[in-house]
């Protein structure tokens, strides 16, 4: 049997501050229960790879956490920019995000150095009565503030009433139980990480709803001038998750859409190592949906090529209303 070795902590020549050593790191996170759970997963992964590492979290309130109304398409980085500012200021070593919340235009000062192994990217229909999307009664109200989900729900069931619902997962579930909506659409990954059970038949089929680019993946940033931190994050990076999400985000970037646009994409690796991806662009009312699909070896090239196909099918007209 081949012996296994534990990676050594990298030496640091560019430390966070004069009293910080490389054996102790601070990880920035949003304050929501889900964000803290996700950050705990990152911290646990770091400790598993570097057993001598001391990890502490720093909770940061973002603009997105303080908003109560529906999100607007131009509000990019609502859940991420404050963490990035604190990271650039040197008060934390790493910043953890849901990858789908990060704008596709990178900030070179704080590159994404790790994407963890991806949780399922699917969405789940949570309702008091249970059942699938197609089994909801005529005119049922579904809570979601996602334009992507709204567009695809209405494309599938134009009779549904889509109601904006904001707040963390627990808040939204409480609103449903209080009768404000008949059902909710939530990310399966978030429910799993929070330990909230759901039935298999509550999972929305991909044919009905493609996920947001990067959904289910966690991204970790560090400063570009911190090679010691970058080396740590390289040890927990998942090449497969990075490759599939790169294709999805390349599709989103080529279409010029932000994380709030009604654009969806999902890529997976086939047995031969080739990527297979489906993408979607829709009007907010779901009246027009452009679907594309293809495969290729290069993640970036595949995402851009499918975006070109979407443009040829009329994506400009569909996105103009935004």
| Angle formed at CA 84 by CA 14 and CA 280, multiple of 5 degrees | 130
For the residues of 56-93, what is the DSSP string, one character each? Answer: EEEEE--HHHH--S---TT-TTTTTHHHHHHHHTTS-S
Among 219, 247, 243, residue whose Cα is nearest residue 233: 219
The CA distance from 99 to 91, in Å, is 22
Task: Name, in order, each residue with C-beta under 8 angstroms of 18's C-beta and a sequence gap of 6 or more.
Answer: none
> How far is CA 240 from each of CA 79, 89, 118, 132, 217, rounded to the nearest angstrom?
25, 31, 9, 31, 11
Concerning whether 65 is annotated as a catalytic residue, the answer is no
The CA distance from 175 to 186, in Å, is 13
As a dihedral over the C-alpha atoms of residue 72, residue 278, residue 110, residue 77, rounded to 10 degrees, the angle is 10
Catalytic pick among 44, 52, 93, 101: 101
Q: Which positions are catalytic?
A: 101
């Amino acid at each position: 049997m081949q012996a296994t070795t534990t990676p050594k902590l990298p030496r640091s020549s560019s430390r966070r501050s004069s009293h910080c050593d490389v054996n102790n790191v601070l990880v920035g996170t949003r304050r929501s229960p889900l964000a803290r759970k996700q950050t705990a997963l990152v911290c646990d992964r770091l400790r598993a790879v570097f057993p001598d590492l001391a990890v502490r979290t720093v909770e940061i309130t973002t603009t997105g956490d303080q908003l109560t109304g529906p999100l607007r398409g131009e509000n990019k980085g609502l859940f991420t920019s404050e963490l990035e500012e604190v990271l650039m200021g040197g008060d934390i070593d790493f910043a953890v995000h849901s990858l789908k919340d990060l704008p596709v235009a990178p900030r070179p000062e704080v590159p994404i150095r790790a994407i963890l192994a991806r949780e399922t990217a699917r969405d789940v229909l949570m309702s008091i009565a249970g059942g699938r999307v197609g089994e909801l009664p005529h005119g049922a109200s579904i809570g979601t503030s996602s334009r992507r989900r709204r567009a695809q729900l209405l494309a599938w069931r134009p009779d549904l009433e889509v109601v904006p619902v904001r707040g963390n997962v627990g808040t939204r579930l409480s609103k449903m139980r209080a009768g404000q909506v008949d059902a909710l659409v939530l990310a399966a990954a978030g429910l799993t990480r929070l330990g909230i059970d759901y039935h298999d038949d509550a999972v929305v089929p991909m044919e009905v709803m493609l996920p947001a680019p990067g959904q289910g993946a966690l991204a970790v940033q560090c400063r570009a001038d911190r090679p010691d931190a970058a080396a740590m994050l390289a040890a927990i990076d998942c090449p497969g998750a990075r490759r599939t999400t790169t294709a999805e985000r390349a599709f989103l970037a080529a279409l010029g859409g932000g994380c709030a646009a009604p654009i969806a994409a999902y890529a997976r690796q086939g047995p031969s190592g080739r990527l297979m991806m489906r993408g979607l662009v829709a009007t907010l009312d779901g009246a027009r949906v452009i679907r594309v699909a293809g495969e290729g070896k290069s993640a970036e090239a595949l995402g851009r090529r499918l975006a070109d196909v979407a443009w040829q099918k009329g994506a400009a007209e569909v996105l103009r209303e935004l």
